[in-house]
Amino acid sequence: MDTSPTSLPQIFDVVDVKNGTYGLVYLCTWKGYTPLSVPQPPLFAVKTLKDRYRGDERIVNRFYREAETWVKLGRHEHIVRADFVLEIDQMPHIFMEYVAGGTLNAYIQKGSQDIRQALDFAIQFCDGMIYVNTQDVGHAGKGLVHRDIKPANLMLTPNQTLKITDFGLVKAFDEGVTGFAGTKEYASPEQFVGGYIDCRSDMYSFGIVLYELLTGTRPFPGPSFEAFAEQHRNHRPEPPTSLNHHIPKELESLILRCLEKNPEDRYLCFEALRVRLMDIHQRLYGARHHRTQPNEPPSRIDRSVLRGLSLSFLGKMVEALSCLTEAIENDPQNLLAWHYKGEALDRVKKHADAIACFDEALKIAPDHAPTWSAKADALGNLGRYDAALQCYEKAAALKPMHTNHVFWANKGLALVAVQRYTEAIACFDKALAIQPRSVKAWFGKALLSERMNRLADAMDYYDKALEANPRDAASLYRKGNLLCRVGRFQEAISCFEAALQINPRDVNVWTSLAGLLASLSRFEEALRCCDRAIDINPRHDLAHRLRQLIQAKLRP
């Protein structure tokens, strides 16, 4: 099993790990202190990406999108709740409710085939999908297609409440979704041919789930991708009553209508499917379907703070700042709103504004160690390293940082800036003792080695940082500059280009690449890099000066 190195065990007690195709789900409990400084549920799930896929841009982007979708979906009884997103080891981790009853897949394996319970599950599923299909989460349009409905993605609580999970393949209706994505055993015919899909594709997949729930088997045996594609597109399923004669005819007709090859022949939407299911329930049992809604415990933290925190880690800064500002307007004494607004402002390089937010937070809670540490980071980003180091000392005095490798790495970087190299090395080593794959600590050691002119060591440390996270743009950029220094120009170009794939608006990388290309007499390419830098920042002096020099070289 690939459990991937992670800092989770330093922050939480990991009870179990579930291994998926691309992701891992950790079942955890808190170790007393929590990142939100408030009481949290004793047991929760944390989903993140497997370490081996960190360098895969497509998969990483899809995971970021999943995290954003899940957070923006908010709360619904029949959706697995995502409370917030935290960035750990430079990768988002989705913190979700733990659903203790297992999956619908496990329920099917027990062989119950209970008609009334199947109807109950189906109506609950429709309620969840009606909610999903009407949500606007800021993609191309309103309404989402799940694209991977299957028993393994339908969770059950101990009281048989069904909850939909895994939004890794979700798309908006208006995106004109094409191309295969999903699970071949449950995919709709239109998914196999790359056709446009909408909620009726999910309806087909659920038709297979309902067929399996009531018969114990799927309608099509496969086993290969090609065989499933042929069967889903062209074969009629055996009537489910041939496998379970207790299935009422009207329920069989409903299942077969969900499994029609042409989406136009299925139910128009999940609202229509739900109406038909309710009618069947009424006829069979003489009563409308009804479930008692469980009372959800009151939240201990403002939802707008959680949403703002999550969106900040996902790079959605305008929305994040809007949420956090709203929380402050609602409660000016909201410590966490001030703290996380400061962190968000620091990420968008508004360091002075960030410090002002941290100061407001410290007026509310003068002994809040995370805020002292975050203020230190912002001061360091402003170049006020002595003040930053004072704040780091204050944070460490208030709360031991035995498990916080980011704290030690950031403090080490501030010490490098003031040339206190021996202390910096000690900080980086502390960080690496906590998390051997700390990107920031390896980056700091590389930077320090460059300062000491130990270039071979620096190269090795940049490689270790990139081994931990192949998409760390800062390490790619610095390694590119180091490769230029040692005359390995083509490798340097590759590093700069990789950094720009991750952050195409980094002016410093564009100008470094322009300078390197110009030194290789590749003037036209260098000029385009300068133009790109100036487009991003019209006041960037170095890009303008470099452009003038290159133009002079191009004059006849």
pLDDT tens-place string over residues 480-537 = 999 999 999 999 999 999 999 988 999 999 999 999 999 999 999 999 999 999 999 9
- For residues 173 and 145, the answer to whether their CB atoms sit within 8 Å is yes
- 32 and 120 in a common domain: no
The pLDDT, as a whole number, for residue 140 is: 47
Same domain, 53 and 179: no
Question: Is residue 398 within 8 Å of 372, Cβ to Cβ?
Answer: yes
> Looking at the structure, do residues 120 and 169 belong to the same domain, yes or no?
yes
CA–CA gap between residue 210 and residue 399 (Å, rounded): 53
Q: Give the other-Cβ count within 10 Å of 133's Cβ.
A: 19
Q: 168 and 42, same structural domain? A: no
b/e per residue 107-120 (b: at least 16 CB within 10 A): bbeeeebebeebbb
141 and 60 belong to one structural domain: no
In a domain, 430, yes or no: no
Least confident of 27-36, 212-221, 426-435: 27-36
Six-digit token string for 391:
């704040």
Residue 201, pLDDT above cutoff 80: yes
Q: What is d(CA 305, CA 221) in angstroms, rounded to the nearest whole number?
A: 48
- Contact of 462 with 443, CB cutoff 8 Å: yes
Q: pLDDT tens digit string along 342-380?
A: 999 999 999 999 999 999 999 999 999 999 999 999 999
Residue 451 placed within a domain: no
In a domain, 54, yes or no: yes
Q: Into how many domains does the chain fold?
A: 3
Say yes or no to pLDDT of 168 above 90: no
At residue 400, does pLDDT exceed 50? yes
| Same-domain pairing of 115 and 87 | no
- Give a yes or no: residue 329 inside a domain: no
Instruction: Tell whether 397 is covered by a domain.
Output: no
The residue written with tokens 């208006």 in the block is 174
For residue 172, tell me if it sits in a domain.
yes
My answer on whether 136 and 238 are in the same domain is yes
Range of the structural domain that residue 187 is part of: 104-285
Of 269, 285, 301, the last residue of a domain is 285
Extended strands (E) in 422-487: none
- pLDDT bin (cut points 50, 70, 90) of residue 450 is very high
What burial class does residue 102 get, using C-beta atoms within 10 Å of its C-beta: 0-12 exposed, 13-18 middle, 19+ buried?
middle
Q: What CATH number is given to the structural domain containing 260?
A: 1.10.510.10
Chain centroid offset of residue 268 CA: 32
* CATH number, position 519: 1.25.40.10
Q: How many CB atoms lie within 10 A of CB 288?
A: 9
d(CA 312, CA 512): 29
Round the average pLDDT of the chain to a whole number and report it: 88
Secondary structure in 3-state letters for 39-98: CCCCCEEEEEECHHHCCCHHHHHHHHHHHHHHHHHCCCCCECCEEEEEEECCEEEEEEEC
* Mean per-residue pLDDT, 294-308: 68
Residues 537, 556 share a domain: yes
- Looking at the structure, tell me whether residues 272 and 139 fall in a common domain: yes
3-class DSSP state of 12 = strand
pLDDT of residue 175: 46
Confidence check: pLDDT of 469 > 60: yes
Residues 223 and 109 placed together within one structural domain of the fold = yes
- pLDDT (0 to 100) of residue 81: 85
Would 294 be classed as within a structural domain?
no
Q: Which of 97, 120, 155 is the last residue of a domain?
A: 97
> What are the structure tokens assigned to 25, written together?
């789900």
Residues 92 and 125 in one domain: no
Tell whether 485 and 545 lie within a shared domain.
yes
pLDDT tens-place string over residues 111-166:
888 999 999 999 999 999 999 888 876 554 456 888 899 999 999 999 999 999 88
Q: What is the pLDDT of residue 11?
A: 67
Q: Which residue has the higher pLDDT, 413 or 554?
A: 413
SS3 162: strand
Question: What is the SS3 assignment for 14?
Answer: strand
Q: Which of 97, 120, 152 is the last residue of a domain?
A: 97
